[in-house]
A and B are shown apart, each in its own frame.
Chain A
């Protein structure tokens, strides 16, 4: 028996590698200048789903919510072996906090009626680790957080080893289940060369529209629309059209999406302004360092 898996992934700014170029003059981060990457632990989630499919059959569907540019992580998923991908993009979903995001994603997941949902433990741009557990609650799936090793799926039961904070445990449960996956769970497979050749041309409708607008700056709307339709039809014929859904497609109740669906509000944002350090500069010489150590011993900081 095969298992159908859905993987929820996120495109995130690479907060781990903030370079000087990404800093604005006032010391804040210029998000636009940060490279966008596949959230690292979501790659582990994808790998877990691919492993289940490779062993038992079934399908792997990857869903992401974000702007059209997030198609990049969907192509990367196809290149690693995903069977189907969906971009959820809708301006009405903007400003969603974790509760609204989990609601929207759970509406999309329901469309696939999966046996297992895999998510990365957390995204590196927020580190909240909330969306996975909240989706499980909304879907009514059994929640398994912090998977460290997938031990297998047999006769409709999922077995895995998870990090329990003060230790680890081996647990099993009936499906359906939602699993959040840690970086240590597996090694994500590289993209397959053959699939890169095939899927590098995969595009979502919004990406096509943007490409057409860029290519035909002087054309009128009707001409552009015709070109977009032509290109979309061509992509579809080759199986290279990335599905693009709105909140209407997943029948989401708008009250629970975006701003109105988000109980948390931003009260204040403060830029971290570094005041000039009042520190004592110690020269890296033997004498200066010995003097510093002497001072620390004298005031009983060490010794």
Chain B
């Protein structure tokens, strides 16, 4: 734990694998920039790894004022113990007021370990972060400019705002895609602060016997059209129709958490607070009731079409178009209309030529 430190910087943990930065830290830089500007403090990235110095430029171009680089061969392959030791050392020395992590496999392993070691608070899977004041409801003690950590909670029917008034740093994790990556500003530079990895007395307990990269099965963030299904689709076989529709549209297939849990579709396809956040041109929600965790992951789509048998389904509250009906009946009609539409487009193009 460190004392509340009003001059403390805003930090982003710059996660990288094999010398390649993940998207999340770059996305967090844009939110971090906003928070740092509101607080009037610098934005910094903490970059541990082996041979990662070059990545500092990338972080600067995305908004970092400072980059804390800690290079050591022993940090080449992620191990909790080594990264925890390095981060705790950096936090203890420079006393940032906010530390943000991506809610990735590494971030969700490292952030709670650091929080436990620092005895500070940590809020998982935030969907928004702001700066605001807080008054303790019991003691009436007033705290200015805290990190407001906002996340849906408990079955998605409430949005909780969490604060960490006293035991700093204030830490949060954010899922990939939740924050928008800001434009890269080429040539923007940051102050580089190099330090040695304080790993004396730290044993790295794991023997990594095998390591395999696995490409993600789908890149939902890049899809212009997403056809997503929920529990209402009913079976993996029924999902076939959604794949057909996505194929016709040149889009990708997504799923709600319920659909993933039921085994209709792989977790890589999950949209929502604990999956991927997407903003496609068109999002078609099929048999998805629309818990807030799901809506948090798709409501910024340019156009939303919901197909549901339930006219009261919450998904309709964020939809632009709603079709109340059975998707097994509606999707074939959509496919037919889109194929017909292609003919119209082609005919129009040919007429122009």
**Interface residues, chain A, CB within 8 Å of chain B?**
13, 15-16, 18, 23, 27-29, 31, 34, 97-99, 102, 125-134, 136-138, 142-146, 159, 163-174, 262-272, 274-277, 279-286, 289-290, 292-294, 296-297, 301-303
- Known contacts being A97-B121, A170-B209, A289-B333, is A125 close to B154, with CB within 8 Å? yes
Task: Indicate which residue in A16, A144, A267, A284 contacts B333 across the interface (CB closer than 8 Å).
Answer: A284
Q: How far is the CA of A233 from the CA of B348 in the complex (A)?
A: 88
Task: Indicate which residue in B84, B108, B164 contacts A137 across the interface (CB closer than 8 Å).
Answer: B84
Task: Indicate which residue in A134, A146, A297 contacts B105 across the interface (CB closer than 8 Å).
Answer: A146
Q: Are A282 and B213 in contact (CB under 8 A)?
A: no
- Where chain B touches its partner, the secondary structure class is mixed
Give the nearest-CB partner of A144 in chain B. Answer: B206
Task: Indicate which residue in A130, A267, A302 contacts B338 across the interface (CB closer than 8 Å).
Answer: A302
Give the nearest-CB partner of A130 in chain B. Answer: B112
Residues of B within 8 A of A171 (CB): 206-209
- Known contacts being A163-B105, A279-B321, A282-B321, is A168 close to B208, with CB within 8 Å? no
Residues of A within 8 A of B125 (CB): 127-128
- Where chain A touches its partner, the secondary structure class is mixed
Q: Are B333 and A265 in contact (CB under 8 A)?
A: no
Residues of B within 8 A of A15 (CB): 154-155
**Cβ of B225 under 8 Å from chain A:** yes
Residues of A within 8 A of B325 (CB): 284
Query: What's the tally of chain B residues with a CB closer than 8 Å to chain A?
Result: 92
Residues of B within 8 A of A142 (CB): 81, 205-206
Q: Are B121 and A134 in contact (CB under 8 A)?
A: no
Q: Of A16, A129, A146, which is in contact with the most chain B CB atoms at under 10 Å from its CB?
A: A129
**Cβ of B104 under 8 Å from chain A:** yes
Q: Are A167 and B214 in contact (CB under 8 A)?
A: yes
Q: Are B209 and A289 in contact (CB under 8 A)?
A: no
Q: Are B322 and A282 in contact (CB under 8 A)?
A: yes
Task: Indicate which residue in A143, A145, A263, A301 contacts B281 across the interface (CB closer than 8 Å).
Answer: A301
Q: How far is the CA of A290 from the CA of B343 in the complex (A)?
A: 13
**Cβ of B189 under 8 Å from chain A:** no
CB distance from B203 to the nearest CB of A (A): 9
Q: Told that A166-B17, A166-B105 touch, could you supply 12 new A-B pairs with CB distance under 8 A?
A: A18-B155, A143-B80, A166-B213, A267-B146, A269-B159, A279-B316, A284-B326, A289-B334, A289-B337, A290-B341, A301-B282, A302-B341
Residues of A within 8 A of B192 (CB): none
Q: How far is the CA of A270 from the CA of B156 in the complex (A)?
A: 11
**Cβ of B180 under 8 Å from chain A:** no
Q: Are A277 and B281 in contact (CB under 8 A)?
A: no
Residues of B within 8 A of A134 (CB): 112-113, 115-116
Q: Are B163 and A264 in contact (CB under 8 A)?
A: yes
Q: Are B121 and A267 in contact (CB under 8 A)?
A: no
Q: Are B109 and A143 in contact (CB under 8 A)?
A: yes
Q: How far is the CA of A137 from the CA of B202 in the complex (A)?
A: 13
Give the nearest-CB partner of A276 in chain B. Answer: B317
**Cβ of B120 under 8 Å from chain A:** yes
Q: Are B162 and A133 in contact (CB under 8 A)?
A: no
**Cβ of B302 under 8 Å from chain A:** yes
Give per-residue flags for B150-162: 1 if the beta carbon is below 8 A from chain A beta carbons, else 0. Answer: 0011111111111
Q: Are A284 and B324 in contact (CB under 8 A)?
A: yes
**Cβ of B198 under 8 Å from chain A:** no
- Known contacts being A297-B345, A302-B282, A303-B342, is A265 close to B214, with CB within 8 Å? no
CB distance from B311 to the nearest CB of A (A): 9
Task: Indicate which residue in A13, A170, A270, A281 contacts B324 across the interface (CB closer than 8 Å).
Answer: A281
Q: Are A297 and B341 in contact (CB under 8 A)?
A: yes
Q: Are A172 and B115 in contact (CB under 8 A)?
A: no
Residues of B within 8 A of A303 (CB): 341-342, 345
Q: How far is the CA of A173 from the CA of B148 in the complex (A)?
A: 39
Q: Are A165 and B282 in contact (CB under 8 A)?
A: no
Q: How far is the CA of A159 from the CA of B210 in the complex (A)?
A: 11
Task: Indicate which residue in B123, B159, B305 contacts A270 across the interface (CB closer than 8 Å).
Answer: B159
